[in-house]
Amino acid sequence: MSYGRFLLKRGFQGILVVWGVVSIVFMLRFITPGSPVDAVAPLDASAELRQRIAEELGLNQPLYVQYLDYLWALLHGDMGYSYISGIEASQMVFTKLPATVELAVASSLVAITLSIPLGVISATRRHQPADYAATTFSLVGISTPNFWLGIMLVLLLSVEFGLFPTSGRAYGFIEAFRILAAQGVSPGLDALWQWLRHIFLPAVTLGTYFTALITRLTRSGMLEELGQSYVQATRAKGLPESLIRYKHALRNTLIPVITVLGLQLGTLIGGAVITEAVFSWPGLGTTLINAINVRDWPILQATLVVIGCGFVLVNLVVDAVYAYLDPQVVAE
């Protein structure tokens, strides 16, 4: 099987998964108690009014008609309107999406740039002080709850030292670049600086667990690879140690690491609900919680569908990278 066909196959599987997600999200409304009418209608609404609302929302149609209507609308990018505010659901979700993606990517970058070198150092200096420091850090990092770490960072760095803002998001990343293009260098750089200051603490909070996890994975994977007989054979042919470590052992270690990275990134897109709450970060996580609280079904559904698609997309990318790194995957 060629690389292209492999990707095509995975892409097709991804579409099937998205369809499944959409269907389940649709069904969710019917297996949870309470009708959407309750959310929309005033408390003292008459039976007649309730009936009219139900008709308006299409709730009097048979289930399969509602389902097909939903799919058809979704294909055209129409996810309905918020029951509460009347804002278009797709618009609402897509304005929140950049904040979440920024946070997910930023925390992953923090994690990747820290964890992989840490893991390599830890594995190649096994049972030396650097290794003990790295393993201790990863143990602490894995066992520290996000919300606590977030609050502590805010208390220490924001409140005590005033280094970072306590919460919120001043500019979006793209927005900051627009300012750079439109208003010149000085306000542009200032906007970027503000963006960085605001995202720093949430990214570190979210990235710490992630860093710790990948450090451990890299360390153990690297140790396993370095124990393989091909490493000894590679030494026997006279390659320098740095080449053996990085080109051979680390490359093979990264194969499982990338899988975990992808899965984690997927969950981050699902919204780091708690971290977003601690830092009042206006992302999908906050939107999701709000929608659940007020039974705003269109928003809830739109959020879930976008999260599901994001998850599938990230995994598709992971598969592509995975197959690139490990040719045996394509062969199977």
Find the shortest distance in angstroms from Cβ 147 to other proteins: 33
**255 touching other proteins, by CB under 8 A:** yes
306: its two tokens = 């976008």
Q: Pick the piece of the chain touching other proteins (CB under 8 A) from 26-34, 73-81, 101-109, 239-247.
A: 239-247
**233 touching other proteins, by CB under 8 A:** yes
Contacts of 305 (CB under 8 A, 6+ apart): 21, 22, 25, 74, 79
Q: Report the candidate in 275, 245, 259 with the shortest Cα–Cα distance to residue 326.
A: 259
Find the shortest distance in angstroms from Cβ 90 to other proteins: 35
**232 touching other proteins, by CB under 8 A:** yes
Cβ-based nearer residue to other proteins, 76 or 237: 237
DSSP class of residue 88? Answer: B
**239 touching other proteins, by CB under 8 A:** yes
Of 35, 115, 205, 252, which lies in the binding site for other proteins, with binding defined by CB under 8 A? 252
Cβ-based nearer residue to other proteins, 4 or 34: 4
Specify the residue for token string 């977003």.
Answer: 276
Cβ-based nearer residue to other proteins, 15 or 325: 325
**238 touching other proteins, by CB under 8 A:** yes
Residue 11 phi/psi, 5-degree rounding, is: -60, -45
Of 4, 34, 129, 240, which lies in the binding site for other proteins, with binding defined by CB under 8 A? 240
Interface ranges with other proteins (CB under 8 A): 116-117, 120, 228-230, 232-240, 242-243, 245-248, 250-252, 255, 325-328, 331
